[in-house]
């Protein structure tokens, strides 16, 4: 094993531990919000780590159950009639994703502008901070990992924060506050560069500190500690034997394969899950310190295998998830070893030490997520986007605002529409140039021109005066749309009456087989 591999392992194993600590309550919370068995979220987390992590097209992406699918899962269980029936649909969705992958569906993510991807990262960071503030203050009514602005109980992100402030829990505030101080110290020199920080990640210290503080409060101050019955601690199902542990797996009900609704549900899961995975992988490439380019078709195939396996074991749908991916990158994860290790840890921990994990305060985990959210939405990112210009800043801000006030997919869609508008605007303004020297005019097509450039073309043709000589030159355009030829033909048909002489250079051969409409001489 070379030195590079040794260094990667030294960073990947602690990073995998951090991802495990972040992922565990998220898996449970998403299962709870979906109306599924709690262990179904754990199964999806294990499969996402071990199976998808091994096959993934990304070195740093982390997969597992996604909050964005919680509503679909809840509705799907009702539609299918039972959770075993829904698990069968999850398995089928994996086969559909495999088809997407072999058909080259991974390219879809390449059509999302960078400004939108960066906006998505910043928005997720902001949402994480906002959503974790109530948990840091001891209000744990909402499930871990919820990223939607509107909540089931009729609250929203901001009203939840207000209520948390009004009913803050001193124990949680103390644990969360000290945890944030520890994490800040771990990011500062000399701690950050020490061997201690390399082998003992800050989040693990925070989790241990939270357990020690809360157990100390329980022993010394009976009325001042965080209680499991009030929902303030991790709540992992505890099996007393291997037999009881194995019974938590749910066998899918394949009798529903005769019903069309099964395939509609599977297609819905496959499409939404694939979009979320591709967006997450694009985001992972942006924050990967090595800036590696992921194989998105391979990622879809990996997600397909993962969903098939998860469904067969009775787990929730699996997607690549930004929150866990971010935790992996910021914890120093270099290769897929960290992702796989987090899945192995989850499998071992839920069987061997669930009672210890159930002592972890959610306030400690909230502190970890708040720091991750801050790094995702750092002020430097906003400054960089502002310096990049209006065409980058506006889609970025639209994406941020839309995600914060709706959800991930709606926000990305809004940012994408805005980004397309600026692309069309840029193309509209710079595709055609017109220069004049007395009666001589040169119209040059600077790049490919299509129907979207018709307005600009007509505007410039209106500037040509009677008796002019016009040269239309297209050497810089790789393609000229038939609509453009039609506009030129219409102009040429009236040119003789206005004594306008037109010459063409490198123009008609750009039609690529489309016979241009030319006016009679």
b/e code 337-352 from CB counts within 10 Å (16+ = b): bbbbbbbbbbbebbee
Give CATH superfamily name and number for 431-511: STAS domain (3.30.750.24)
| Cα dist from 336 to 273, 282, 289, 321, 490, whole Å | 20, 16, 14, 14, 60
**Annotated domain spans of the chain:** 3-377, 431-511
**3-state class of 472 per DSSP?**
strand
The whole-number pLDDT of residue 43 equals 95
pLDDT higher at 451 or 182? 182
Q: Who contacts 137 (Cβ-Cβ below 8 Å, separation ≥6)?
A: 164, 165, 168, 169, 172, 173, 176
Residue 341 tokens, joined = 């290790």
| pLDDT reported for residue 309 | 97
Composition of the chain by helix, strand, coil, percent to 5: 65, 5, 25
Give per-residue pLDDT as tens, 99-121: 999 999 988 887 888 899 999 99
d(CA 305, CA 237): 26
Residue 516's pLDDT is: 46
Gap between the Cα atoms of 61 and 221, Å rounded: 43
What pLDDT sits at residue 422? 81
Q: What are the distances in angstroms from CA 164 to CA 127, 158, 188, 417?
A: 16, 10, 30, 36
Query: Which whole-number Å values give the CA distances from 22 to 25, 101, 180, in the listed order?
Result: 7, 29, 15
Q: Report the mean per-residue pLDDT for the chain.
A: 88
Say if residue 521's pLDDT is above 70.
no
Six-digit token string for 90: 């999850």
- Pairing type for strands 440-445 and 501-505 reads unpaired
Q: Compute the distance between CA of residue 363 and CA of residue 377 in angstroms, rounded to an integer.
A: 21
Is residue 264 within 8 Å of 379, Cβ to Cβ?
Answer: no
pTM for the whole structure: 0.82
**Which runs of consecutive H residues, i.e. helices, occur in 187-321?**
195-199, 202-220, 242-246, 260-287, 296-313
Q: Is the pLDDT of residue 193 over 80?
A: no
Q: pLDDT at position 125, please?
A: 92
Give the torsion sign (CA, 203, 208, 213, 218). Answer: positive
Tokens 């992922």 appear where? 23
pLDDT in tens, 44-88: 999 999 999 999 999 999 999 998 888 899 999 999 999 999 999
8-state DSSP, 153: T
Which pLDDT belongs to residue 513?
46
Answer for the pair 16, 339: CB distance below 8 angstroms, yes or no: yes
Q: How many CB atoms lie within 10 A of CB 451?
A: 12
- What percent of the chain is modeled with pLDDT above 90? 58
pLDDT band at 500 (very low <50, low <70, confident <90, very high): very high
Q: What tokens does 212 get?
A: 């020690």
Q: Is the dihedral of CA 76, 80, 85, 91 positive or negative?
A: negative
């Amino acid at each position: 094993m070379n030195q590079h591999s040794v260094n990667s392992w030294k960073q990947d194993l602690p990073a995998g531990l951090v991802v495990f600590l972040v992922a565990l309550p998220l898996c449970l919370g998403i299962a709870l919000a979906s109306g599924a068995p709690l262990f179904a979220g754990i199964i999806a987390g294990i499969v996402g780590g071990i199976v998808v992590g091994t096959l993934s097209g990304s070195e740093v992406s982390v997969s597992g159950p996604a909050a964005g699918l919680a509503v679909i899962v809840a509705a799907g269980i009702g539609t299918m009639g039972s959770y075993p029936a829904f698990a069968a649909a999850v398995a089928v969705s994996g086969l559909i994703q495999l088809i997407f992958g072999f058909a080259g569906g991974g390219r879809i993510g390449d059509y999302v502008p960078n400004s939108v991807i960066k906006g998505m990262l910043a928005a997720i960071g902001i949402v994480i901070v906002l959503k974790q503030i109530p948990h840091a203050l001891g209000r744990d009514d909402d499930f871990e990992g919820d990223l939607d602005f509107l909540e089931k109980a009729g609250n929203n992100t901001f009203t939840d924060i207000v209520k948390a402030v009004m009913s803050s829990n001193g124990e949680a505030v103390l644990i969360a506050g000290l945890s944030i101080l520890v994490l800040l110290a771990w990011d500062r020199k000399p701690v950050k560069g020490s061997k201690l920080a390399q082998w003992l990640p800050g989040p693990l210290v925070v989790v241990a500190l939270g357990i020690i503080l809360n157990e100390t409060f329980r022993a010394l101050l009976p009325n001042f500690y965080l209680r499991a019955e009030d929902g303030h601690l991790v709540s992992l199902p505890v099996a007393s034997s291997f037999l009881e542990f194995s019974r938590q797996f749910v066998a899918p009900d394949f009798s529903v394969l005769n019903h069309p609704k099964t395939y509609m549900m599977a297609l819905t899961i496959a499409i939404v899950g694939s979009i979320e995975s591709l967006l997450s992988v694009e985001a992972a490439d942006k924050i990967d310190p090595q800036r590696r380019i992921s194989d998105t078709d391979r990622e879809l195939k990996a997600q397909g295998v993962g969903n098939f396996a998860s469904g067969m074991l009775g787990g929730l749908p699996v997607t690549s998830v930004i929150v866990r991916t971010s935790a992996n990158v910021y914890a120093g994860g270099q290769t897929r070893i960290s992702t796989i290790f987090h899945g192995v840890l989850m499998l071992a921990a839920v069987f061997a030490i669930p009672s210890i994990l159930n002592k972890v305060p959610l306030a400690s985990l909230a502190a970890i997520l708040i720091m991750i959210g801050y790094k995702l939405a750092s002020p430097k990112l906003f400054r960089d986007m502002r310096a990049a210009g209006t065409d980058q800043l506006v889609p970025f801000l639209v994406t941020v605002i839309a995600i914060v006030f709706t959800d991930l997919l709606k926000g990305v869609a809004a940012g994408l529409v805005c980004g397309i508008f600026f692309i069309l605007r840029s193309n509209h303004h710079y595709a055609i140039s017109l220069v004049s020297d007395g009666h001589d005019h040169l119209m040059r097509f600077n790049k490919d021109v299509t129907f979207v450039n018709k307005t600009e073309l007509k505007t410039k043709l209106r500037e040509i005066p009677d008796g002019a000589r016009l040269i239309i030159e297209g050497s810089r355009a790789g393609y000229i749309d038939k609509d453009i030829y039609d506009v030129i033909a219409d102009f040429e048909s009236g040119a003789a009456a206005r004594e306008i002489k037109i010459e063409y250079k490198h123009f008609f051969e750009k039609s690529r087989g489309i016979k241009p409409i030319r006016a009679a001489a």
